[in-house]
Chains A and B, each alone.
Chain A
Amino acid sequence: MKHPEGISPLDQGMAKGERRRFQGLLHWQKISGQSIVVNDFTLTPQSWALIVRFPRGAFVWHRPSAVLVERNGQMQHLPIVDLTRAIQLGLLGLGGIIITIVAFVRFARRKERVL
């Protein structure tokens, strides 16, 4: 395994987004890490970070978004999907839809009875 910069890129910290890190109260930024070379592949990890700054505190939410893979000059974008969260949100959405449909049907029946 080779690292183009000599040091492990994942140890080098933030690359492009660092300068903007302390600006503003709410900050949402895309971060690109240093590239890693594994076999013939050059991988560039990308992530999204939400930084909320308070006067005496902070909150950081950081999630991986994609990996850029380069091989023989060809670039490939591999998105990282959070399947657990997608299923959780899907279940929540499904529950909401079912409740809405049932409520609508009951409301319609009630209206029919009144008429």
Chain B
Amino acid sequence: MIDTTNNMLTLAQKREEQISRVMEKLYSAAQPGAVYSEPVTAGNYTIISACEISAGGGFGSGLGLTSPKPQDEASQPQTQSVNSSGGGFGGGGGSNGRPVAVIVIGPDGVTVRPVVDVTKIALAGVTVWGSMLMLLGRMRRANKR
């Protein structure tokens, strides 16, 4: 029983260490190096890209130990006082990044050029217009009644 408990506690400690390591990695997304790239030089120009990033994650773990039940010595045999234990650990996460702008350092000076994601804009446009048409249709139907 004591061995099992110790093993479980060791496993739990290991899990905690793993969680803190993963959390540190997650927090590294808040460092400037995560958003700004290393400068790249080509000819007279140096370029630094700036990206927006988001990252998230969560974990959960649990363990259970059964303590021996107080036995009714008359009714239960000795063999039923076997202890059992169990534990589990799970987690999930994800990250997303997209370029926002490019910083160009050239002979003329420093300029910030935005990066436009046409696909995202097109999707947003289709969604907005679709929603508008649906709402207008509903309003028209409601007016007819």
Q: Which residues of A are interface residues toward B (Cβ below 8 A)?
A: 1, 8, 10-15, 17, 21-22, 31-34, 36, 38-39, 41, 43, 45, 47, 49, 51, 54, 56-64, 67, 69, 76, 78-84, 87-88, 91-92, 94-95, 98-99, 102-103, 106, 110
Contacts and interface: CB of A to CB of B under 8 A. Distances in A.
A63 B120 contact: no
B124 A91 contact: yes
Interface residues of B, number: 56
A15 B143 contact: no
27 contacts: A1-B41, A8-B38, A10-B39, A11-B38, A31-B30, A32-B32, A39-B46, A45-B35, A51-B30, A57-B57, A60-B56, A61-B53, A62-B54, A63-B53, A64-B100, A64-B101, A67-B110, A80-B50, A80-B103, A81-B101, A81-B112, A83-B115, A84-B115, A87-B116, A92-B128, A95-B129, A95-B131
A33 B33 contact: yes
A84 B34 CA distance: 20
A89 B57 CA distance: 27
Contacts of A22: 27
B39 A38 contact: yes
B114 A82 contact: yes
B60 interface: yes
B115 A47 contact: no
Contacts of A56: 19, 58-60
